[in-house]
Chain A
């Protein structure tokens, strides 16, 4: 077990933690606005081609999207529990919850993989690669450009999250965290909840309201 040392430029562990957390919140603000740009593109194209969005969104797999939403919500819960257990000095339980979170995250990516390969197979692709005969609207490729851009960017965030959780799990397993110091676990948790939060909007926008 390595004891965490508070850097010299902070008065206290409390201040160090609060500074880190403020930094993370600021980062999340930029994330919200990053996805905000995509939401604005979504609104503009949807206003231009409402019928096309209606038709194209029917070709997304609603069941898989639904399952993935449940999976991410569960992963958010297990993540919150992992943070809680870490603060209570119950590292073993925390590790179990972190492992569960990882498994949920991996499940999400596996389901996403099957969704993507199915789309590739059908020719439901962005831009000039679009080759799907059942949708006749000439601009249908726009919907799939947006679909892949939005879910792809979100998927990258999930992958980053998986990396972070793995890192936190390794350190937690080493005994780095406890009630005295749990900053990485908490911040990874907050980031992970944001990934969930973004999906909460992506799911209805792309899969449900056609």
Chain B
């Protein structure tokens, strides 16, 4: 079909195209090590398109192919351009979506959440303070050593918790114990101690847990009990969730 001369010309073309492709690759990599802002993308895509065109025209022989094949293959790039171009024109030029920082989305009292976060870590001073409160508020039932054998507890049913047993009815993590101290335990004589301040309740929690041989750590699940943890907490303003306005309004409506 093709003459010898014609084919020899092709080989020369292939060689030249090969060299050009290698040179273009070096150029595009070299450019990528320099920062020209938006031009990096333009150059990288431009060079890639030149390389792709060379491959199409000469290696794939599209230049010498019949018109039908040329139209068919080029048409795919026309459709690709529509597909990619319209998507890009939408995505790249959208106005920056307004990000709402809505106070109401935070837990009811932001400061309280921060306080809780701080107090839920046990310290020697908190434990010492907890012991004082324990001796005045809890000893009567739970006993001076926390064995559940206080004088007022003898008649109670069920008997008060022996903290040295390592057993917990409602869980032994700081958050769970805090919740039990705050809310009491339904179906038992254990009353709620809401009258104590948050700091005092935490001190108690740390003292009580210091008596127990079984002190599991909090998980995201248990933290939710006290309004902390994932999705609920926003301790500092930096950790504020960034959510779109309509979603925030939705959340506010649900909360109210």
Which residues of A are interface residues toward B (Cβ below 8 A)? 14, 18, 21-22, 25-26, 28-29, 32-33, 36-37, 39-40, 43-44, 47-48, 62, 66, 69-70, 73-74, 76-77, 79-81, 84, 87-88, 179, 189-190, 193-194, 196-197, 200-201, 203-205, 207-209
* Residues of chain A with a CB closer than 8 A to B249's CB: none
**Is there an interface contact between A28 and B73, defined as CB atoms closer than 8 Å?**
yes
Q: Interface stretch among B44-52, B170-178, B213-221?
A: B44-52
Whether B186 sits at the interface, judged by CB under 8 Å, is no
Cross-interface CB contact of A43 among B18, B58, B72, B91, cutoff 8 Å: B91
Given contacts A44-B91, A200-B48, contact A62 B55 (CB under 8 A): no
Whether B239 sits at the interface, judged by CB under 8 Å, is no
B50 to chain A, nearest CB (A): 10
Bitwise interface map of B from 37 to 69 toward A, beta carbon under 8 Å scored 1, else 0: 000110011011001100110111100011011
* Residues of chain B with a CB closer than 8 A to A69's CB: 25
Cross-interface CB contact of B84 among A36, A76, A79, cutoff 8 Å: A36
- Chain B: number of interface residues, binned into ranges: 35 or more
Docked Cα-Cα span, A193 to B251, in Å, equals 54
Main secondary structure of the interface of A (DSSP, over half): helix
Whether B83 sits at the interface, judged by CB under 8 Å, is yes
Docked Cα-Cα span, A88 to B11, in Å, equals 11
Whether B128 sits at the interface, judged by CB under 8 Å, is no
Cross-interface CB contact of A200 among B32, B52, B58, B66, cutoff 8 Å: B52
* Residues of chain B with a CB closer than 8 A to A33's CB: 76, 79-80, 83
**Is there an interface contact between B28 and A208, defined as CB atoms closer than 8 Å?**
yes
**Is there an interface contact between B2 and A87, defined as CB atoms closer than 8 Å?**
yes
Interface pairs (20), CB distance under 8 Å: A22-B68, A25-B72, A29-B75, A32-B77, A43-B87, A43-B91, A62-B32, A70-B25, A73-B18, A73-B25, A74-B18, A77-B59, A79-B59, A88-B4, A88-B7, A193-B55, A197-B56, A204-B32, A208-B29, A209-B44
